[in-house]
Amino acid sequence: MKKSETLLIKKKYAENIDEYIQKGGFLSLKKVLGDRIPPEKVIEEVKKSGLRGRGGAGFPTGLKWSFIPKDGEKKFLICNADEGEPGTFKDREILLYAPYLLIEGMIISSYAIQAEVSYIYLRKEYKWIYDRIYKAIKESEEIGFLGKNILGSSFNHRIKIFVGAGAYICGEETALLESMEGKKGFPRLKPPYPANCGLFGYPTVINNVETLSNIPIIIEIGGDNYSKIGVPKSTGTRLISLSGIVKKKGVYEIEQGKITVREIIEDLGEGIKENYHLLGVIPGGISAPPLLPDEIDITYDFESIIEKGSMSGSGAIIVFGYKEDKKRELLKLLKSAVKFFKEESCGKCTPCREGTWAINDILEKIEKRETQIGEGIEIIDVLHKRMKGLCACPLGESCAIITESFLKKYSDVLK
């Protein structure tokens, strides 16, 4: 552990179920079911903790759960393990090293919303982790943490794994639902929201891997104590996927609001690689606009990054720069981001389907110096206006926003 790390989730890494139990694993589940804590009390505790979703949108978790109707025979919980945002690899680490923590979190969360079945929606590219998770589920079943009348209570629960087919858009929760129902992974128009009409029409909560892994910790230390970690609007820790031109890439766990982006790069990433010059930082996966080097002395939390015009998104920090005098190579990074959006646009909405291709063409022309940066920005601005509020999900708009932002902030570098 590095000095600037604060460990909650990483402390629970375990090779097998015995090691997890030795580390206090499943005590939170025992507390909830053994003490017969009512489901609404569990939701209340999560609300008190201030936990916000770690998948990208940062929506308050307890509030999301409270939208699930109390009545009705069937509800579902889905763990979104479709971690496809380029630069993001922290959920993979949890799936590999802390599957028991995730399973415990899923059981408690399912109890809170009274779901008897939950699913892990695993991205196709993580199929190689399937056996690890499957083994952890089986071990949990054998000990009696999953199955009928868990720990002598009246609560029954099963966890199943669903493997996706390799589309980035299925990380969007309604596209994920379509995919699980055997349909093409197109995002749904909302409302209705999944809390009312989710998987096969039943009320469904969809939470990210890291979000669910925080639940046993909240129950263990209490919502109030959890809310004191971090800062008021960004509580707890976050797993950061650090990549790019830093010396030490990896997944680090930081206390939100207590470490700056620059400190993450310097202390955790051990600084910029030899012979490289820093040009900027993408603070939350490639859908997040970049920050200039003089904008990174801000603490890493939801609000501080939004105030700088970007977002912490999936917690992926991509540090970018150049070697020698090849500053213009920045275009390669931007082009690869736009190519990603263009290829992953599901095609449902015309402004996104056509707009992402048009943005890609503009970059090609800027690269060949056939289009001026200012002209490119103007065209993208028009395309952006055609996408805003007219698409079923934010993908196309994200493509326009980050391209405009890069072109404006780095016009000198890219001309």
Examine residue 391 and tell whether it contacts ligand SF4 (CB under 6 A): yes
Question: Phi/psi class of residue 292: alpha, beta or left (left: φ > 0; alpha: ψ in -120 to 50)?
Answer: beta
The torsion angles phi and psi of 119, rounded to 5 degrees, stand at -125, 145
Residues in the chain: 415
Taking CB under 6 A as the binding criterion, the range among 117-125, 301-309, 314-322, 385-393 that sits at the site for ligand SF4 is 385-393
CB of residue 198 to ligand SF4, shortest distance in Å: 18
Residues in 265-304 at the binding interface with ligand SF4, rule: CB under 6 A: none
Residues in 322-341 at the binding interface with ligand SF4, rule: CB under 6 A: none
Q: Which residues pair with 237 in a beta bridge?
A: 255
Nearest residue to ligand SF4 on Cβ basis: 352
Contact 224, 68 (CB under 8 A): no
CB-nearer residue toward ligand SF4: 144 or 347: 347
- Please state the three-class secondary structure of the chain as a single string: CCCCCCCCCHHHCCCCHHHHHHCCCCHHHHHHHHCCCCHHHHHHHHHHHCCECCCCCCCEHHHHHHCCCCCCCCCEEEEEECCCCCCCCHHHHHHHHCHHHHHHHHHHHHHHHCCCEEEEEECHHHHHHHHHHHHHHHHHHHHCCCECCHHHCCCCEEEEEEECCCCHHHHCHHHHHHHHCCCCCCCCCCCCCCCCCCHHHCCEEEEEHHHHHCHHHHHHHCHHHHHCCEECCEECEEEEEEEECECCCEEEEEECCCCEHHHHHHHHCCCECCCEEEEEEECCCCCCCCECHHHCCCECCHHHHHHCCCCCCCCEEEEEEEECCCHHHHHHHHHHHHHHHHHHCCCCCHHHHHHHHHHHHHHHHHHCCCCCHHHHHHHHHHHHHHHCCCCCCCHHHHHHHHHHHHHHHCHHHHC
Examine residue 179 and tell whether it contacts ligand SF4 (CB under 6 A): no
Work out which of 78, 219, 395, 414 binds ligand SF4, going by CB under 6 A: 395
CB of residue 348 to ligand SF4, shortest distance in Å: 4
CB of residue 400 to ligand SF4, shortest distance in Å: 11
CB of residue 187 to ligand SF4, shortest distance in Å: 4
Work out which of 216, 280, 376, 396 binds ligand SF4, going by CB under 6 A: 396
Examine residue 383 and tell whether it contacts ligand SF4 (CB under 6 A): no
CB of residue 339 to ligand SF4, shortest distance in Å: 15
CB-nearer residue toward ligand SF4: 349 or 414: 349
Number of residues that bind ligand SF4 (CB under 6 A): 14
CB-nearer residue toward ligand SF4: 38 or 347: 347
CB-nearer residue toward ligand SF4: 46 or 175: 175
CB of residue 360 to ligand SF4, shortest distance in Å: 14
Examine residue 409 and tell whether it contacts ligand SF4 (CB under 6 A): no
Examine residue 392 and tell whether it contacts ligand SF4 (CB under 6 A): yes
CB-nearer residue toward ligand SF4: 130 or 357: 357
CB-nearer residue toward ligand SF4: 182 or 389: 389
CB-nearer residue toward ligand SF4: 140 or 345: 345
**Mask of contacts with ligand SF4, 338-367, x by CB under 6 A?**
-------xxxxx--xx--------------
- Label residue 266 exposed, middle or buried (CB < 10 Å: 0-12, 13-18, 19+): middle
Examine residue 169 and tell whether it contacts ligand SF4 (CB under 6 A): yes
CB-nearer residue toward ligand SF4: 116 or 344: 344
Residues in 210-239 at the binding interface with ligand SF4, rule: CB under 6 A: none
Work out which of 187, 230, 257, 315 binds ligand SF4, going by CB under 6 A: 187
Sites of contact with ligand SF4 (CB under 6 A): 169, 187, 345-349, 352-353, 391-393, 395-396
